[in-house]
């Protein structure tokens, strides 16, 4: 629902409450006022969260940065309260910076965001991705509960790929077979691209390295993975 539709909908509720008050139905008027005052922020919070995940879907499933940016712009355009979008907007902007290769300040920018249960999973994930020295907290697994069920599979895969990438960044030995096995289980195209690049970086055979490198370029569609 866009901003104006929200305004119209809740204005009608408030108007009905006023009419009921004028007609002497004080209890009903009070209930409608309470409903309007409490339902609006809750509804807005839900809509912001839904729009946040629409943007992520464009990135993780479609690997389409332009579509991701359009969905992020809708988040701003349709918001009733700017304060409600501060955290999700900051997270999405940091994610965009990460995939544009502008990673120098991503970890710092995300670490400055106050704890937010709804979006903390993604904040911690991209702190871990952008700064190999920042080990993934054990809490990140528990934060899956804040991810909507229909995106939870992608979130679980995000953790698996992140942990493997951190092992590689730390110089730990990881069998190529392990990387390939994880890659075969993935369903999110962006994560498949990330692991394909890992296979290219850690292959010792030049021919295979070139094959995976080209595959990663094709899958990532110009993103810096």
Is the model's pTM score more than 0.75?
Answer: yes
Q: Is residue 203 part of a domain?
A: yes
Q: Is residue 122 part of a domain?
A: no
Q: Is residue 7 part of a domain?
A: no
Pick the more confident residue, 182 or 136: 182
pLDDT band (50, 70, 90) for residue 1: low
56: part of which helix (H) or strand (E)? helix 26-60
Q: Is residue 178 part of a domain?
A: yes
Structural domain boundaries, residue 218: 173-225
Residue 154's φ and ψ, nearest 5 degrees, are -65, -40
Per-residue pLDDT averaged across 217-222, rounded? 94
Helices (H), 170-205: 176-185, 189-202
- Block residue for tokens 């940091």: 94
Contacts of 99 by beta carbon, 8 Å cutoff, 6+ apart: 59, 65, 223, 224, 225
Q: How many of the other CB atoms lie within 10 Å of CB of 89?
A: 18
Q: Is residue 47 part of a domain?
A: no
pLDDT tens digits for 16-64?
Answer: 777 777 777 777 767 777 777 777 788 889 999 999 999 999 999 999 9
Q: Is residue 106 part of a domain?
A: no
Q: Is residue 36 part of a domain?
A: no
CA 58/CA 93 separation, integer angstroms:
14
| Residue 3: per-residue pLDDT | 66
Is the Cβ–Cβ distance between 36 and 13 less than 8 Å?
yes
Q: Is residue 11 part of a domain?
A: no
Burial of 101 (0-12, 13-18, 19+ CB in 10 A): exposed
Distances in Å between the Cα of 123 and the Cα atoms of 20, 25, 114, 195 are: 46, 48, 10, 21
Give the torsion sign (CA, 179, 183, 186, 188): positive
- Indicate the number of domains in the chain: 1
Query: Which three-class secondary structure state does DSSP give residue 147?
Result: coil
Burial of 24 (0-12, 13-18, 19+ CB in 10 A): exposed
């Amino acid at each position: 629902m866009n901003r104006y539709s929200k305004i119209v909908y809740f204005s009608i509720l408030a108007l009905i409450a006023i009419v009921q008050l004028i007609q002497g139905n004080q209890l009903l008027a009070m209930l409608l006022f309470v409903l309007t005052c409490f339902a609006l922020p809750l509804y807005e919070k839900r809509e912001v969260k839904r729009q946040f995940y629409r943007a992520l879907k464009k990135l993780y499933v479609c690997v389409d940065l332009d579509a991701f940016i359009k969905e992020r712009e809708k988040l701003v355009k349709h918001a009733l309260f700017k304060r409600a979008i501060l955290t999700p907007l900051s997270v999405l902007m940091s994610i965009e910076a990460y995939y544009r290769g502008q990673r120098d300040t991503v970890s710092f920018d995300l670490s400055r965001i106050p704890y937010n249960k709804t979006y903390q999973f993604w904040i911690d994930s991209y702190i871990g991705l952008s700064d190999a020295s920042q080990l993934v907290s054990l809490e990140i697994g528990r934060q899956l509960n804040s991810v909507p069920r229909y995106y939870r599979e992608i979130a679980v895969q995000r953790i698996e790929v992140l942990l493997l990438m951190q092992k590689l960044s730390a110089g730990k030995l990881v069998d190529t077979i392990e990387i390939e096995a994880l890659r075969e289980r993935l369903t999110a195209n962006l994560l498949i691209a990330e692991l394909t690049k890992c296979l290219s970086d850690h292959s010792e055979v030049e021919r295979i390295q070139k094959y995976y490198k080209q595959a990663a370029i094709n899958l990532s569609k110009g993103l810096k993975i």
